[in-house]
Amino acid sequence: MTDLAQGLRLRDDFPGVGDWHYLDSAATAQKPTAVIDAIARAYGPDYATVHRGVYERSANMTLAYEAARRKVAGFIGAASDSEIVYVRGATEGINLVAQCWAGTQLKAGDHILLSTLEHHSNIVPWQIVAEKLGAQIDVVPLTQDGRIDLDAMRAMITPQHRMVALAHVSNVLGSVLDCRRAADIAHMVGAKILIDGCQAVPRLAVDVQALDCDFYVFSAHKLYGPTGIGVLWGRKELLDSMPPYQGGGSMIDKVTFEKTTYAPAP
């Protein structure tokens, strides 16, 4: 099959593309027919409650739901599917870590380290937490070729920096971070590091264990999947140390009016 024929066949898998050139995948990716059909099946003939029913269809939906979690874990090299937290998108994943880890572990005078090229979603959540706690945000500059300057990061990081949050791939410049080196620099002073992987997971092989980061977030809609869902990966011991982000039915072990106990991560 020629490259042209292969390209045309792939184009046919994306009904939203049609006869025009779609160049906005960094913002959101078109969905292939396989994904659209799977969503239609899940909302149609297969639909039932997840984790709340004992009848066959509910059990099958629950198995499919958790099978997807295992696939996500394998896709990014997670040690366990219990490290995969479903969220509404990468933005919620960052907010969850900002509120439930940084918001409980940082104190006045601590520092958070970001970079000049971060998306607003990897700036504003940290600003909210820093203002609440009296922490300070420091910003790593870029190199001449538009990359996060890790030499500058190494020079400016101190033990006062408790949290580092950086983009794996820039949504504006396309520059790629050396995540492992960034993680090594963060861990050198005892800081935790979150990586925004929204632009990386559709285009690069990602292994969170090899990257040695502490948290990794991405959104499905940039990865040819549905809108309204994303993934937060976190080290199991960190997830277990974090208080609940929101209260509700799925995150409980036992509820009484006197006391509620919570289910383990995720």
pLDDT tens digits for 134-147? Answer: 999 999 999 999 99
pLDDT value of position 20 = 84
This model's pTM is above 0.75: yes
Handedness of CA 96, 173, 171, 218 (dihedral sign): negative
pLDDT (average), residues 14-38: 93
Q: Mean pLDDT across the chain, nearest whole number?
A: 95
Helices and strands in the chain: count of H runs, count of E runs: 10, 9
Nearest alpha carbon to residue 193 among 210, 215, 173, 172: 215
Domains and CATH numbers, the chain: 1-30 (no CATH), 80-241 (3.40.640.10)
pLDDT value of position 4 = 62
Check whether 251 has a pLDDT greater than 90.
no
Contact criterion met (CB below 8 Å) for 232 and 208: no
